[in-house]
Amino acid sequence: MYLACNAVVTGDVILGRDVNLWYGAVVRGDVARITLADTVNIQDGAIVHCDFGVPQVVEPGVVVGHAAVLHGARVGAGTLVGIGAKLLSSSDIGRSA
């Protein structure tokens, strides 16, 4: 696991094995649980949040590019979320379960 010195993790957040949170990343589980599964990589300046009562699940092997915003419900295993991407409320992307 790598947590940069200025990464912020607050609220109801579960971090899997070998999660990487890079500089300026924010994972804010203040309104619902956020789960980052094994080997998730959240790059510099990315934000992970969700809606009230809608948990955010980021499945194994997901890479979230610099300054992306995840505000959805699920990002499927192995998905690459590009630099500066914005995932809107309750979005469900990537491989099916």
Q: What is the pLDDT of residues 4-30, one digit of tens each?
A: 999 999 999 999 999 999 999 999 999
Instruction: Give, for all 97 residues of the chain, the pLDDT tens digit.
Output: 999 999 999 999 999 999 999 999 999 999 999 999 999 999 999 999 999 999 999 999 999 999 999 998 999 999 999 999 999 999 999 987 5
CA 30 to CA 82: how far, in whole Å? 25
CA 38 to CA 13: how far, in whole Å? 13
- Classify residue 9: in a domain, yes or no: yes
* Domain that includes residue 23, residue range: 1-41
- Classify residue 52: in a domain, yes or no: no
Q: Are strands 47-48 and 20-21 parallel, antiparallel or unpaired?
A: unpaired
The secondary structure of residue 73, as a DSSP letter, is S
Task: Please tell me the total count of domains within the chain.
Answer: 1
CA 96 to CA 85: how far, in whole Å? 20
- Classify residue 64: in a domain, yes or no: no
**pLDDT for the residue 55:** 97
User: Would you say 84 and 64 are in contact if contact means Cβ atoms under 8 Å apart?
Assistant: no
- Classify residue 70: in a domain, yes or no: no
What pTM was estimated for this model as a whole? 0.95
